Amino acid sequence: MTTLVTGIGVAAPGGLGVGEFWPAVLAGKSAIAPVRGFDGSGYSVRLAGQIRGFVPERHLPNRLLPQTDRVTQLALTAAEWALADADIGRSLVTTDEMGVVLSNGQGGFEFTHREFHKLWNDGPEEVSVYESFAWFYAANTGQISIRHGLRGPCGVLVGEQAGGLDAIASARRYIRRGTPLVVSGGLDSAFDPWGFLSQTAHGRVSRAEEDWAAFLPFDRGANGYVPGEGGAVLVLEDGTSALDRGVPVYGEIAGYGASFDPRPGSGRKPALKRALERALADAAVEPRDVDVVFADSAGRPDLDRIEAAAISDVFGPQGVPVTAPKAAYGRLGAGGGPLDVATALLAVRESVIPPTAHTLDVPEEYGIDLVTSAAREKDLRTAVVLARGYGGFNSALVVRRFGY
Amino acid sequence: MNRRVVITGIGVRAPGSGNTKEFWDLLSAGRSATRRITFFDPAKFRSQVAGECDFDPELEGLSARRIRRMDRAAQLAVVCAQDALADSGLDAFDGDPGAVGVCIGSAVGAATSLEREYLVLSDSGRRWLVDEDHLSPHMFDYLVPSSMAREVAWEVGAEGPVTMVSTGCTSGIDAVGHAAALIREGTAEAMVAGASDTPISPIVVACFDAIKATTPRIDSPERASRPFDRSRNGFVLAEGAAVFVLEELGHARRRGAHVYAEVAGYATRCNAYHMTGLRTDGREMSIAIDSALVEAKATPEDIDYVNAHGSGTKQNDRHETAAFKRSLGEHAYRVPVSSIKSMVGHSLGAIGSVEIAASLLAMANDVVPPTANLHEADPECDLDYVPLVARELRVDGVLTVGSGFGGFQSAMVLRSLGGAA
């Protein structure tokens, strides 16, 4: 049973909606800027990939605004776009059978920070009646299900940056077992002062002050990453259902694999390569059939080296074009993988590989053909998306042009 | 390919229960372990009772370094995983660690550590612009709670699929259901799966106070959780964890492992109705139950015991009673139904797994745990809720269900391998 993507909704630092996002990504336009929303001048990390110009009132009914965090507002908006894109009003199945499986790793953090502040300054009676369901990781899935009347299988997966691919794989699993349509993807946002600072606590975030110097995946000068917000929502649909109603198709979710890195100090090898191999096997494609790899791109030499080795081991040295569009807008946590999947589907549709912004100097020994500086035109049929979550989570997803 | 998934190991920490045996002793005696909150002074809160674990990570053998790093929920998950592995005899390194995965559920993740770190960073709430000088190097782990799954994976030595499920109060069923699906499709041969939540912290207590979901009863704490009783007025917040070893049946048999039960059927549905409200007719929970029965190829008569969500809120217990009637028909009036939340409280995302543990032990002992504190049933709750006293009964098939904020409804069918179900 084939799993097709028939709708995409993007809420990303590079653009709100596919129409804004895709040209920005193709141009490698930087969306990295000094953190906004509070005075961040006292913090050692200065840059962030934040979404600009999102006015929730324009997208959501008033009653939803007080009960939702920014991440849920972004998720509801992206989901509405994706469902409209897929034209589900013309679907032959009822929303009772449609599911929702999303990833979220940081909860409704800004909202909950305000409630912590109220609790400890004004007492428990001041805590919002909405806190119990605006905070938790399942808020986005629940709110999307309610807003669109989706009563099928539902789920929420957390795996930091890998979780978004895991959610798409879980949605695909439901489709293969008979659910006709599943809304999937992932988003994160935590850009209140506490959320921002928390995102930097593991020391993997760049302290650079210039946007072009902060997030340089696979560059000799890589010095960390820039945390960002947002992500993508995709409408996944069973092939028969999609074709019956004649809706345009972006492509196919063709394969998936996951693995986990051994405990540091165990002497065992990192497991990313295994996730990649599993995804290729699941999609029944050979490495030579893959036209482009969207890299996880941690932006630290030790982690970039592990990823470069996995890619060049599987595809051969310089064996496949590799790109990291996220260099322009940052790592989005749960949103990162789904946004890369959306980008990969658009790239395959248009046969063009978006560039890795900022990175210029890739060490020869990495053995990868990184698309830098400008987009590269190439006939694309099959793309691989890699994602790694902090702590050792590895996921890989294969997307393919439909009908190929 | 018809791969069957079985459970071969159990680890539990719950209020009044430092291990699996104590847990079963508590349940089969019908004893309630809820008490006035001791973790902080609850005087300013509407609800002041909780199910707390007397859990000492040092006595459990965790190193000082791990205790410092891990949130309490992760600590509970790790010791439960240790127990489950010891119980099942599984060693990831005996075979291919890449064929062993982990899936841990939690509703509120590292809530306890978040609140502790918040107080440090904000100078007890005074600073909105939190102070970087006091930032813990582990703060990212508390922000993104998949750190809990990582800790369990390191304990197990798993290098297969590792993830966390966070569907609120159905997480504990959904994590086990997700793990079973991975084994069934061949992605993993064995999964260490379960759930953990430690929400007894002022912010979480305040959350549920705000919507009056938890009980305001403060007079006799051990009698505060009263599922299905006419006098029930909210749930009792609790902490706890349960973790299992799940394996493909052939994998378990080749090792000669003891099998508790088969994970025969599972389903989850959104009700698309309300973030906290439930329709009285129980329709969506009933659809989840029906789907789980279909997957298990079971009829209502194959169910010998229903482990209810039974949270003790006015709306849940009626909603759920209606769902059982819709799905099980006349059998709903004959089959014993009970809620162990009457004894161990409601540990949010963990409770689904804690209830799976109770279900497995009911099958192992052929005893159905009672609903404690049930003296006079709500007239609209007219099933056999096994009030006060455990009941001896052959238990080969169990239905366990959960319901939670966001509109999630989950159901799982467990069946003994020798049983007729």
DSSP secondary structure letters along A318-384: T-SEEE-GGGGT-B-GGGHHHHHHHHHHHHHHHTEEPPBSS-----GGG--EE-BSS-EE---SEEE
- B141 CB neighbours in chain A (<8 A) are 202, 391
In whole angstroms, give the CA distance from residue A374 to residue A380: 17
- Model's pTM, two decimal places? 0.98
User: 3-state SS of A79-108?
Assistant: HHHHHHHHCHHHCCCCHHHCEEEEECCCCC
Distance from CA of B397 to the nearest CA of A (A): 24
Q: What are phi and psi of B32, to 5 degrees?
A: -100, 140
Q: Do A197 and B139 touch (CB under 8 A)?
A: yes
**What domains are there in chain B, each with its CATH number?**
5-110+145-415 (3.40.47.10)
β-strand A3-12 against A15-16: which pairing, if any?
antiparallel
**Contact flag A260-B158 (C-beta cutoff 8 Å):** yes
Report yes or no for ipTM above 0.85: yes
Per-residue pLDDT at A404:
60
> pLDDT by residue (tens digit) across A364-396?
999 999 999 999 999 999 999 999 999 999 999
Q: Do A142 and B125 touch (CB under 8 A)?
A: no
Select from A171, A155, A164 the least CA-distant residue to A3: A171
User: Is residue B53 annotated as part of the catalytic site, yes or no?
Assistant: no
Q: Which residues of chain A have pLDDT under 70?
A: 404
B169 is catalytic: yes
Q: Do B167 and A274 touch (CB under 8 A)?
A: no
Q: Kindly name the residue from B53, B103, B178, B309 that is annotated as catalytic.
A: B309
Catalytic, B309? Answer: yes
| Residue from B103, B169, B319, B381 carrying the catalytic annotation | B169
Smallest CA–CA distance from B185 into chain A, residue:
A173
What is the percentage of chain A residues whose pLDDT exceeds 70?
Answer: 100
Using 70 as the pLDDT threshold, list the residues of chain B that sit under it: 1, 419-421
How far is CA A376 from each of CA A316, A350, A353, B23, rounded to the nearest angstrom?
20, 11, 5, 62
The mean predicted confidence, pLDDT, of chain A is 97
Residue A163 distance to chain B (closest CA, Å): 8
Q: Tens digits of per-residue pLDDT, B377-402?
A: 999 999 999 999 999 999 999 999 99
**Closest residue in chain B to residue A116, using alpha carbons only:** B203
Q: Please, which residues bridge with residue A7 across strands?
A: A235
The confidence score (pLDDT) of residue B1 equals 56
Q: How far apart are CA A190 and CA A393, in angstroms?
A: 21
Give how far B263 is from chain A: nearest CA, Å.
17
A318 at interface of B, judged by CB pairs closer than 8 A: no
Structure tokens that stand for A314 in this block? 């599987």
User: What local confidence, expressed as pLDDT, does residue A19 receive?
Assistant: 98
B-proximal residues of A, 124-183, CB under 8 Å: 124-125, 127-129, 131-133, 135-139, 141-143, 145-146, 148-160, 163, 166, 170, 173
Among chain B residues, the shortest Cα distance to A190 is held by B143
Residue of B nearest to A129 (CA): B210
Which residues in B lie closer than 8 A to residue A129 (C-beta atoms)?
210-211
* Whole-number average pLDDT of chain B: 97
DSSP, collapsed to helix, strand or coil, labels residue A168 as: helix
pLDDT per residue as tens digits for the range A211-270: 999 999 999 999 999 999 999 999 999 998 888 888 899 999 999 999 999 999 999 999
Residues A373 and A366: their CA atoms lie apart, in Å, by 18
The answer to whether A206 contacts chain B (CB < 8 Å) is no
Tokens representing B271 are 């009700």
